[in-house]
Amino acid sequence: MAPARLTAPLLAATLLAVGVLSTGCAAHAPATAPEAAPATSLAPLPRPAIHEIPVADSTASKSMPVEAYLFSSAQRQQVENARDTLTVRCMQRFGLSYTPPPPPPATDRGQATHRYDVSDPANGYRPPGPAPTPRPAPPQLSSDAVNVMSGGEVPGSSKTVTSYHGLPIPKGGCAGEADARLTAQGGSILDSQLAVGINFDNYQRSMTDDRLTAVFRQWSDCMKAKGYQYPTPNDAMKDSRWKPTAPAPSADEIAVATADSACRQQTNVIGTWYTVESAYETEAIQAAQPELTKVKAGIAAVVHNAETVNSGGSL
């Protein structure tokens, strides 16, 4: 009798649960304005000193201080490739084949890229480039293959399979084994929640800083002179009239985005916001430096192991 096979959605859920599907940058703040809890819910930090605020039309060539403690896109792809390779090797030990889906391409966009500007006013407030394509679900696997992949724990079943053809299934299955090998010298395959928090929280803190709120008022006056009423750039970006699921931005959205972009440059929103938020991030990093030093070392250890696997070595 042919083995039972999982449907693609159930398989995807299984592999996601055990960490086989790409984590991508899910733990990262996006390269555009991050979303987080309101600033009023954040613990206060001392107002950081700023000696100079440069004029800037773009932060494309800059990085946020916290990026030293987050996986870059290229590093994430290295780790994902290595996870796939180790998973395939493990499955082969059991006489099972597994072909992972291709990972999304690495990008050179950092956390500061289009964080404070309108990336392309002619495209409204939509993110630059083509819409991100989710990593496709892998081909359907037999129930035996799913057991070996996930450690015998299948959604919707209380049964746990601990061996296959006399070979013990590793803890967490082949997916768990791959992650364990990549993190054997420390670190995690996921971004540190401390670093993620610094990335999100200080974006929110920056928006309550008097140096930035003063610039927002100037920006708002500039927009008012152009016929638009918005207190802050984020209010313009989040206008409920904009329909991101529509095939193209409306003429009104393009007009507002064009005015917004011009006013951001006129009032130095980009230079001020980058400088203020970077100062808050630096302050938060200094307060958590011992732990973040370990985070940075962990990233280096995981990436080193990934490079070893990707070059044909073993762990």
3-state secondary structure the chain: CCCCECCHHHHHHHHHHCCCCCCCCCCCCCCCCCCCCCHHHCCCCCCCCCCCCCCCCCCCCCCCHHHHHCCCHHHHHHHHHHHHHHHHHHHHHCCCCCCCCCCCCCCCCCCCCCCCCCCCHHHCCCCCCCCCCCCCCCCCCEHHHHHHHHCCECCCCCCECCEECCEECCCCHHHHHHHHHHCCCCCCCCCCHHHHHHHHHHHHHHCCCHHHHHHHHHHHHHHHHCCCCCCCHHHHHCCCCCCCCCCCCCHHHHHHHHHHHHHHHHCCHHHHHHHHHHHHHHHHHHHCHHHHHHHHHHHHHHHHHHHHHHCCCCC
Mean pLDDT of 192-204: 95
- Residue 280 in this model has a pLDDT that exceeds 80: yes
- 158 vs 11: which has the higher pLDDT: 158
User: Is residue 144 a part of any domain in this protein?
Assistant: yes
Residue 30 lies in a domain: no
Q: pTM for this one?
A: 0.80
Question: Phi and psi of 157, rounded to 5°?
Answer: -135, 140
List, for residues 282-314, the tens digit of each pLDDT value. 999 999 999 999 999 999 999 999 999 999 988
* Residue 216 shares a structural domain with residue 271: yes
Residue 4, pLDDT > 50, answer no
- Let me know whether 178 and 208 are in one domain: no
Same domain, 207 and 230: yes
Do 236 and 177 sit in the same domain of this protein?
no
Q: Does 210 lie in the same domain as 239?
A: yes
Query: In terms of C-beta density within 10 A (0-12 exposed, 13-18 middle, 19 or more buried), how is residue 25 classed?
Result: buried
Domain final residue pick, 153, 182, 211? 182
pLDDT exceeds 90 at position 44: no
Residue 249: inside a domain, yes or no? yes
Each residue's pLDDT tens digit, 205-242: 999 999 999 999 999 999 999 999 999 999 999 999 99
Domain containing 209: what range?
A: 191-296
Mean pLDDT across the chain: 84
Same domain? For 151 and 248 the reply is no
Distance between start and end Cα atoms, the chain? 38
At residue 134, does pLDDT exceed 50? Answer: yes
Do 196 and 280 share a domain, yes or no? yes
Contacts 24+ apart (CB under 8 A), 117-122: 117/57, 117/58, 117/59, 117/261, 117/264, 117/270, 118/237, 118/257, 118/260, 118/261, 118/264, 119/32, 121/254, 121/257, 121/258, 121/260, 121/261, 122/254, 122/258
Greater confidence (6 vs 192) lies with 192
Establish if 209 belongs to a structural domain: yes
pLDDT at 131: 62
